Amino acid sequence: MASYRLFSPFWLLLLLLLPLLYESLRRFRRPSVRFPSLWPMQKGHSSPQSTPQRILFALRAWGLIFLIFALARPQHVEKSQETHQDAVDIVIALDLSSSMTALDFWEPSKPLVTRLDVAKKLTAEFIEKRPHDRIGLIGFASESYVVSPVTFNHEWLIQNLERLHIGSIPDGTAIGSAILAGCNRLRDMEAKSKILILLTDGINNRGNVSPEIAAEAAARYGIKIYSIGIGKEGVVPILMVGQDGNPIVNRFGEPQIVQAELSLDTAVLQKIAETTQGRFFHAHNHKEFSEIYRTIDEQEKTEIELQAYVETKEYFAIFVLIAWMFLLLELVLRYSLWRVLP
């Protein structure tokens, strides 16, 4: 970043003396030859108010102005910065099974807030807090797919996150497949830390690989898993949605809500975290979910080292040269073309 500055701007106070100098010259008038009448000198008098004298004074004034600015030391400052960072590569695996439409995270002002709504909202906030990390996104239900590879383009990542909805993948919960998909995104990365955040509210019931075996593969690649169990266990209200993710309504236009028994395999999620030296969390409500993301954010810090450089170019000599040019021209004109009688 480039900028201009005056290193010693207090010298500019001398500019206040220039009007005093002009006033003293205007009032000062010394006749050099006595005449019985002033008419022979009307065209050549030496009053500061005459055109030649105004020019001479302007030249001297500009010379002094540039000298004063030279004393103030005008500079061109070029600032540059080198950044070295030990970033964290992150993949977030988000459960899109039908149970994620459970309404146990309801809010008084928004009674139809689902688990998925809260998960997407808090995940977007987490992404925004980590601008220096590469982050990827995986959606899974009966199978998994890559929503976004790891990227620094977080705006694009959040846009893809917002488009996720229940029904885009056949129903089920393939936790092992989601972990392997995350491993495939992270295993070749050279970041200091590689983590997988697994968000699910169910039990592994799909896929060809168990969560435990997938976790062992993640551990071999140095990938740490933070497993987050979402929601309460037991009977909870569930919002019925179609394949487009929109609520199904009855003939009165009201959304259909059913009661269902839901389970969460906390033992498996705990085992996954322990295998990869990560942590297991259980979010029963919106507040706990938010605290979990805050904890992960604090534990997985990105180290950034900044080295600043400042290059300064002085313009003192240029201003002195211009000042002497004005003053020299004033002297030449005063003692040649517009010379006054002694």
| Residue 272: pLDDT over 60 | yes
Tens digits of per-residue pLDDT, 159-188?
999 999 998 889 999 999 999 999 999 988
| Residue 210 and residue 70 in one domain | no
d(C-alpha 211, C-alpha 175), whole Å: 6
For residue 339, what pLDDT is reported? 67
Taking the C-alpha atoms of 123, 126, 130 and 135 in order, what is their torsion angle to the nearest 10 degrees? -20
Task: With respect to residue 13, please indicate whether it lies within any of the assigned structural domains.
Answer: no
* Weakest-pLDDT range from 12-16, 181-185, 337-341: 337-341
For residue 205, what pLDDT is reported? 92
* Weakest-pLDDT range from 106-115, 195-204, 220-229: 106-115
| Residue 340 and residue 270 in one domain | no
Domain that holds residue 177: 83-305
| Residue 190: pLDDT over 90 | no
| Residue 65 and residue 161 in one domain | no
| Residue 334 and residue 216 in one domain | no
Return the higher-pLDDT residue of 57 and 127.
127
Confidence of residue 129 (pLDDT cuts 50, 70, 90): very high
| Residue 113 and residue 256 in one domain | yes
Tens digits of per-residue pLDDT, 229-243?
999 889 999 999 888
Mean residue pLDDT of the chain comes to: 84
Total domains in the chain come to 2
| Residue 54 and residue 134 in one domain | no
d(C-alpha 164, C-alpha 125), whole Å: 16
Task: With respect to residue 204, please indicate whether it lies within any of the assigned structural domains.
Answer: yes
Share of the chain above pLDDT 70, in %: 84
Structure-token pair, residue 178: 């989601």
In this structure, what CATH number is given to the domain that contains residue 102? Answer: 3.40.50.410
Q: Which of 142, 139, 293 is nearest to 207 (CA)?
A: 142
| Residue 187 and residue 246 in one domain | yes
Task: With respect to residue 16, please indicate whether it lies within any of the assigned structural domains.
Answer: no
| Residue 62 and residue 135 in one domain | no
d(C-alpha 48, C-alpha 66), whole Å: 22
Tens digits of per-residue pLDDT, 75-117?
888 876 665 566 789 999 999 999 999 998 876 667 789 999 9
Task: With respect to residue 191, please indicate whether it lies within any of the assigned structural domains.
Answer: yes
Task: With respect to residue 115, please indicate whether it lies within any of the assigned structural domains.
Answer: yes
Structure-token pair, residue 122: 């808090």
Phi, psi angles (nearest 5°) of residue 92: -110, 120
| Residue 240 and residue 340 in one domain | no
Mean pLDDT of 122-131: 94
Tens digits of per-residue pLDDT, 32-83?
454 455 444 444 444 445 677 778 778 888 888 888 888 888 888 887 666 5
| Residue 329 and residue 247 in one domain | no
Tens digits of per-residue pLDDT, 287-326?
999 999 999 998 887 665 556 667 888 888 888 898 889 8
| Residue 94 and residue 234 in one domain | yes
Return the higher-pLDDT residue of 312 and 211.
211
For residue 161, what pLDDT is reported? 95
Mean pLDDT of 214-223: 95
Judge whether 60 and 326 are in contact, CB under 8 Å: yes
Task: With respect to residue 301, please indicate whether it lies within any of the assigned structural domains.
Answer: yes
Mean pLDDT of 271-297: 94
For residue 46, what pLDDT is reported? 46
For residue 48, what pLDDT is reported? 47
| Residue 222 and residue 241 in one domain | yes
Task: With respect to residue 299, please indicate whether it lies within any of the assigned structural domains.
Answer: yes
Share of the chain above pLDDT 90, in %: 47
* Weakest-pLDDT range from 21-25, 201-205, 240-244, 293-297: 21-25
| Residue 196: pLDDT over 80 | yes
Mean pLDDT of 14-40: 61
Task: With respect to residue 330, please indicate whether it lies within any of the assigned structural domains.
Answer: yes
For residue 154, what pLDDT is reported? 95
For residue 44, what pLDDT is reported? 47
For residue 58, what pLDDT is reported? 82
In sequence order, the 6+-apart residues with CB closer than 8 A to the CB of 342 are: 32
- Overall pTM > 0.75: no
